[in-house]
Amino acid sequence: MEDTIVVTGGTGRIGRSVVPLLRAAGRNVRIVSRHEPAVAPDDQGITHVVADTVEDRGLVAALAGAETVLHLAGSQKGDDRAAANIARAAREAGTRHLILISVIGAGRMPIGYFRAKAESERQVAESGVPWSILAAAQLHEFLLPMVGGLARLPVTPAPTGLRFEPVHREEVAERLAEIALGTPAGRVPDLAGPEVLELGELVESYSGRHRPLLRIPVPGAVGRAYRAGANLADASAQRGRRTWSDFVGELAESAVTAGRAAARG
């Protein structure tokens, strides 16, 4: 069991990129999520256990004997409860390294998702299990549906002060694999993308066309937090290399490849 790494959320966006890196490093992987993957992994080194981190179902079996647990499972609600359940299960399993992915600004943004991530960080840091925590910026893929939707409008609604520093999924996965293969490191530098961009810049770069902006003030504490850049990394952060326009180029390339494959039948 020593060489097996448990990856909660290993079927998700980030998880799907981390698992092959852990396999390439010679480690077996036990994926934990609520649903069996649509296609069973064609690799004997990968197993899957059904469990629910929020409802605390199946976690004893999921973490049994796990020396390293990479906790990626997450959703819009309940991440704090999930982290508390994972922290307890890891302690009971005798885990030697518990790794959490969090989000940049977790302790600063007055939004439920960020608050739950701050509480998750606390649960892991106080678990009694040696730990590492990496806070990452939003992935390019996370912003894509919003940017794609806005790109269809003649004018881009641009909440004042709203900025992002999107990071490439593979760069986050590489860093997480490096952490999981190493020793507990506590809080490691945040990982953000190489540029800080406003919504209008993201939409223009995605659509390749200039769009007039419709500035919309965001009222209240959330607006103040965004204007102050509370969701952004500080100077101590590590920066990825792959930009939003690199990502947009990758999307175009994969659309061409898919089109050619469809034409071949």
Q: Which residues bind ligand NAP (CB under 6 A)?
A: 8-9, 11-15, 33-35, 51-54, 72-75, 82, 101, 103, 136, 138-139, 142
Report the nearest approach of ligand NAP to the CB of residue 138 (Å): 4
Least CB distance to ligand NAP at residue 49 (A): 10
Q: What are phi and psi of 140, to 5 degrees?
A: -55, -45
On whether the CB atoms of residues 99 and 68 are closer than 8 A, the answer is yes
Rounded to 10 deg, the angle between the 140-151 and 244-264 helix axes is: 80
Which of residues 38 and 261 has its CB atom nearest to ligand NAP in the complex? 38
The DSSP 8-state label assigned to residue 167 in this structure reads B
Least Å distance between CB 184 and ligand NAP? 19
Phi, psi angles (nearest 5°) of residue 248 = -60, -40
User: Which amino acid does the sequence have at 96?
Assistant: R
From 178, 177, 156, 148, select the one nearest 244 (Cα to Cα). Answer: 148
Which amino acid type is present at position 93?
A: A
CA 203 – CA 156 distance, rounded (Å): 8
Q: Which residue lies nearer to ligand NAP by CB, 138 or 207?
A: 138
Nearer Cβ to ligand NAP, position 138 or 245? 138
Token pair for 222: 């959330």
Can you list the alpha helix ranges (DSSP code H) found in the chain? 13-24, 59-63, 79-93, 112-125, 140-151, 169-181, 199-207, 220-227, 244-264
Task: Please say which residue, 97 or 140, places its beta carbon nearer to ligand NAP.
Answer: 140
Query: Nearest distance from residue 9's CB to ligand NAP, in Å?
Result: 3
DSSP string of 29-87, one letter each residue? EEEEESS--SS--S-TTEEEEE-BTTTTBSHHHHHTT-SEEEE----SS-HHHHHHHHH
Report the nearest approach of ligand NAP to the CB of residue 258 (Å).
20
Query: Which residue, 236 or 260, is less far from ligand NAP as judged by CB?
Result: 236
Nearer to ligand NAP, 138 or 238 (CB): 138
Least distance CB 204 / ligand NAP (angstroms): 21
**Rounded to the nearest whole angstrom, what is the least distance from the CB of residue 217 to ligand NAP in the complex?**
25
**Cβ closer to ligand NAP: 38 or 262?**
38
